[in-house]
């Protein structure tokens, strides 16, 4: 099959899956089979694109010309290849996990859930493969609206309130900041095409460079830079499979992917380095890293703690972009994959605990490691990866981020990364320690299903197997980081970052 058709199929396959699933609402087994098959076919298509990419094929696929020189079009490049592989690969595991979770928890409207999920993945593929800022903006907005039904899935008053926050912040930042930045870029540069070395040199100069960068960074609300971060904790009201993939991988990674893409292909790394226009962004990203970690330490609800942890970890990637150094951007790109695998493991584990024991709060998790040893060992592994401890994958991305900070002569940022890792230890490791080393609460003799605390009581197999595999993935990413490093090394990063 031609590379052009494969690129289009990356969006068409999940879109077809989303359209077909409502027809199987009366047959849950068939509906879930279609979900699994769609995710497998998509990954196969993305892998085909990967093969063409490494053979040097770089076709541009124009879907629709909106204005002369402005079209919906797609092209693969290293960063988009990484994002597409991560999102499509983890969708397979999340599909299995969602089947176990939704059935065990007796969630309503499961057909709508799986259909919207597939639609969100189609939008994610459009973001990953966009060849210009206009195409990215269109699919960025489609992703927002396709995930809103997932955030409000339970239709409770709390879910509806969270949905309003979700749409209000993400649509508000897009319309007020991001859209303005796109229009400014179009009139200044005469093009919106992603171009190696950027398109703004000589077109936007002086303080205008920093102002335009601010519009892009704050307009990309999905990157969750403070103060536009509240949508992410609010979205934790969604079922855990939504939190796991869309808020550990697709939605939030679409944000930081956009940050990196704009940095590299619109501004250009060399131009940002020369103008020092991103120094203010270093301060905002560093503040977000530290402040969100402090908030995470105060949260007793497990998903809320993981949500603020995600805000902190996303800003690692934004910090890597703001350094405008080669190693910083490589570390930021690698952190997309490293954080995705580690954080999805933690969310899988949180959902498994809730399904099995109906526990949401960390203070109620004393001794649960005796009932759920596989789940809590996986949680420990995922936590170590997020912290950046060897032999887990997160160690590599944090290492390159630190090297990037030293290349930028920003020792303070190295200190921020080290401080953040210590704070990661403080709010993540007490959870598995509590689960394995503390005695069960005397008043908690039975869980919600009548099971005694002394017995093994793991979540359904469809939940446990995916979280086990992602935990193994954390280790494999440490042992075999070269493919990720080489992929990020092939980005057009210029020479000023060393």
Tell me the pLDDT tens digit for each residue of 378-395: 999 999 999 999 999 999
pLDDT digits (tens, 9 = 90+) for 18-41: 999 999 989 999 999 999 999 999
pLDDT of residue 450: 43
pTM for this predicted structure: 0.94
Report the chain's C-alpha Rg in angstroms: 22
Q: Is residue 270 part of a domain?
A: no
Asked whether residue 172 is domain-assigned, the answer is: no
Residue 395 lies in a domain: yes
How far is C-alpha 172 from the chain's CA centre? 20
pLDDT digits over 159-208, tens only?
A: 999 999 999 999 999 999 999 999 999 999 999 999 999 999 999 999 99
pLDDT at position 310 over 50:
yes
Residues in the chain, overall count = 498
Q: Is 85 buried (19+), middle (13-18) or exposed (0-12) by CB count in 10 A? A: buried
211 located within any domain: no
What per-residue confidence (pLDDT) applies to 443?
Answer: 63
Paired with 71 in beta bridges are 65
The reported pLDDT for the residue numbered 447 is 45
For the chain, how many structural domains are there in total?
A: 1
Q: Within a domain: residue 324?
A: yes
In sign, the C-alpha dihedral spanning 180, 182, 184, 187 is: negative
Percent of the chain with pLDDT strictly greater than 70? 97
DSSP states of 37-78: HHHHHHHHHHHHHHHHHHTT----EEEEEEETTEEEEE---H
And the tokens for 345?
Answer: 């493991």
Looking at the predicted structure, is the pLDDT value of residue 93 above 80? yes
Q: Is the peptide bond before 391 cis (omega within 30 degrees of 0)?
A: yes
- Establish if 116 belongs to a structural domain: no
Query: What are the distances in angstroms from CA 486 to CA 54, 82, 480, 482?
Result: 11, 11, 11, 6
Mean pLDDT of the chain: 93
Residue 495 pLDDT:
58
Q: Kindly tell me if the per-residue pLDDT of 341 is higher than 50.
A: yes
Give the pLDDT confidence score for residue 449 in this predicted structure.
46
Geometric angle at alpha carbon 172, from 244 and 260, rounded to 5°:
60
DSSP 10: H
Cβ-Cβ contacts under 8 Å for 32 (sequence gap 6 or more) = 95, 99, 114
Domain extent at residue 431: 278-498
In a domain, 284, yes or no: yes
- Residue 454 confidence class, pLDDT cut points 50, 70, 90: low
The closest of 332, 473, 479 to 400, measured between CA atoms, is 332
Q: What pLDDT was estimated at residue 411?
A: 95
Q: Is residue 110 part of a domain?
A: no
- 451 has a pLDDT exceeding 50: no
How sure is the predictor about 236, in pLDDT bands with cuts at 50, 70 and 90?
confident
């Amino acid at each position: 099959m031609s590379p052009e058709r494969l690129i289009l199929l990356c969006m068409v396959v999940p879109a077809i899956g989303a359209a077909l699933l409502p027809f199987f609402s009366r047959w849950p087994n068939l509906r879930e089979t279609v979900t699994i098959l769609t995710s497998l076919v998509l990954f196969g298509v993305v892998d085909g694109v990967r093969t063409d990419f490494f053979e040097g094929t770089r076709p541009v696929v124009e879907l629709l010309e909106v204005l002369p020189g402005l079209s919906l079009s797609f092209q693969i490049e290293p960063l988009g290849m990484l994002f597409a592989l991560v999102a499509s690969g983890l969708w397979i595991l999340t599909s299995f996990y969602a089947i176990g979770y939704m059935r065990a928890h007796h969630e309503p409207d499961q057909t709508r859930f799986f259909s919207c999920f597939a639609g969100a993945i189609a939008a994610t593929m459009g973001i990953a493969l966009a060849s210009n800022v206009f195409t990215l903006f269109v699919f960025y907005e489609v992703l927002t609206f396709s995930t809103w039904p997932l955030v409000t899935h339970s239709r409770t008053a709390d879910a509806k309130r969270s949905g309003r926050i979700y749409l209000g912040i993400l649509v508000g930042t897009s319309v007020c900041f991001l859209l303005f930045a796109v229009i400014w870029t179009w009139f200044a540069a005469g093009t919106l095409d992603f171009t190696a070395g950027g398109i703004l040199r000589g077109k936007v100069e002086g303080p205008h460079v920093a102002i335009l960068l601010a519009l892009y960074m704050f307009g990309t609300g999905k990157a969750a830079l403070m103060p536009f971060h509240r949508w992410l904790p609010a979205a934790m009201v969604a079922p855990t499979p939504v939190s796991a993939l869309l808020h550990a991988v697709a939605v939030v990674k679409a944000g930081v992917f956009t940050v990196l893409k704009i940095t590299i292909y619109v501004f250009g790394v060399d131009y940002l380095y020369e103008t020092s226009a991103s120094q203010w962004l270093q301060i905002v990203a560093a503040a977000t890293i530290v402040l969100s970690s402090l908030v995470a330490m105060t949260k007793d609800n497990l998903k809320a703690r993981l949500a603020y942890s995600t805000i902190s970890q996303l800003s690692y990637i934004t910090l890597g972009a703001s350094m405008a150094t080669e190693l910083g951007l490589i570390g930021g790109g690698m952190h997309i994959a490293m954080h995705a695998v580690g954080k999805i493991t933690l969310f899988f584990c949180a959902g498994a605990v809730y399904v099995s024991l109906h526990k949401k709060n960390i203070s109620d998790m004393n001794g649960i490691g005796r009932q759920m040893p596989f789940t809590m060992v996986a949680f420990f592994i995922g936590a170590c990866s997020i912290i950046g401890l060897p032999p887990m994958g997160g160690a590599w991305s944090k290492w390159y981020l630190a090297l990037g900070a030293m290349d930028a002569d920003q020792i303070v940022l190295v200190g921020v990364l080290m401080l953040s890792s210590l704070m990661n230890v403080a709010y993540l490791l007490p959870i598995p320690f509590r689960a394995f080393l503390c005695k069960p609460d005397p008043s908690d003799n039975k869980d919600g299903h009548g099971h005694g605390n002394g017995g093994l009581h793991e979540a359904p197999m469809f939940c446990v197997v995916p979280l086990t595999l992602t935990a193994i993935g954390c280790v494999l990413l440490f042992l075999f980081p070269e493919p990720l490093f080489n992929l990020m090394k092939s980005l057009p990063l210029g020479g000023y970052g060393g």
